[in-house]
């Protein structure tokens, strides 16, 4: 797969996906601060004739390949900006009651105000981690946030300021990835005021 820089029309898709999440961090992001949309497509696809982001592109692209590309890109972002510390895999329509674990919930689970996310150190991101998120997510819509806060800071924030946690997290988010092309790829946008 290759990364293709899209024009600003892709930002409308990203904003619509964030709106569809129905709250949480997505509701607190400033859509006017979204920019530089990038999407991953198979090497054989002509970037000039890309279909709409919400369409089934018909590529039958490997989700493993998409997971590897997203993991690689997130690690690239970390190398480029040392202030990025954590990644939040959001399951926007899931609730803690949807989780059916035989034992205690997994360590990375972050349940905030009835919403489900998984929190990791950005340096731990791997294709397997992205693949595991895709496998356990209840929601068809998948959203990934890259934050300047460390996982420990996010957990402390969730405990100390639960009423303001989504607002505070949104201010720390610098990149957002949303599932695209019928869940065969990812659209990644920057979230920074210019």
Note the pLDDT of residue 150.
97
Whether 52 is in a domain gets the answer no
Whether 116 is in a domain gets the answer yes
For 53, phi then psi, to 5°, come to -60, -30
Mean of the pLDDT values across residues 143-150? 97
Residue with tokens 């970037």: 47
Whether 49 is in a domain gets the answer no
Note the pLDDT of residue 135.
84
Question: Coil, helix or strand for 155?
Answer: helix
Domains of the chain: total: 1
Note the pLDDT of residue 101.
60
**C-alpha span between 25 and 157 (Å, rounded):** 13
pLDDT per position as a tens digit, 151-193: 999 999 999 998 999 999 999 999 999 998 888 889 999 998 6
Note the pLDDT of residue 106.
67
Mean of the pLDDT values across residues 87-111? 80
Query: Strand 86-91 vs strand 115-121: parallel, antiparallel, or unpaired?
Result: antiparallel
**pTM of structure:** 0.91
* Residue 142 neighbours by CB distance under 10 Å: 22
Question: Coil, helix or strand for 28?
Answer: helix
* Residue 132 neighbours by CB distance under 10 Å: 16
Note the pLDDT of residue 61.
57
Cβ atoms 71, 125 nearer than 8 A = yes
pLDDT per position as a tens digit, 100-140: 664 556 678 888 998 999 999 999 999 999 998 988 888 88
pLDDT per position as a tens digit, 41-60: 777 777 676 666 766 555 45
Whether 157 is in a domain gets the answer yes
**C-alpha span between 194 and 188 (Å, rounded):** 17
Quote the domain boundaries for residue 73: 2-44+57-191
């Amino acid at each position: 797969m290759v990364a293709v820089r899209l024009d600003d029309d892709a930002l409308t898709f990203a904003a619509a996906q964030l709106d569809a999440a129905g709250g949480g961090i997505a509701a607190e992001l400033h859509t006017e601060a979204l920019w530089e949309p990038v999407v991953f497509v198979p090497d054989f696809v002509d970037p000039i004739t890309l279909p709409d982001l919400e369409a089934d592109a018909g590529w039958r692209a490997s989700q493993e390949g998409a997971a590897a590309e997203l993991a690689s890109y997130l690690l690239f972002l970390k190398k480029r900006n040392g202030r990025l510390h954590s990644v939040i895999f959001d399951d926007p329509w899931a609730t803690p009651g949807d989780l059916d674990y035989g034992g205690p919930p997994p360590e990375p689970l972050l349940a905030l105000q009835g919403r489900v996310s998984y929190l990791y150190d950005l340096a731990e991101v791997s294709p397997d981690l992205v693949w595991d998120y895709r496998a356990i997510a209840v929601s068809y819509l998948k959203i990934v946030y890259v934050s300047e806060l460390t996982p420990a800071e996010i957990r402390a924030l969730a405990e100390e300021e639960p009423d303001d946690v989504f607002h505070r997290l949104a201010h720390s988010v610098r990149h957002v990835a949303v599932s695209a092309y019928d869940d065969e790829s990812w659209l990644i946008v920057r979230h920074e005021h210019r």
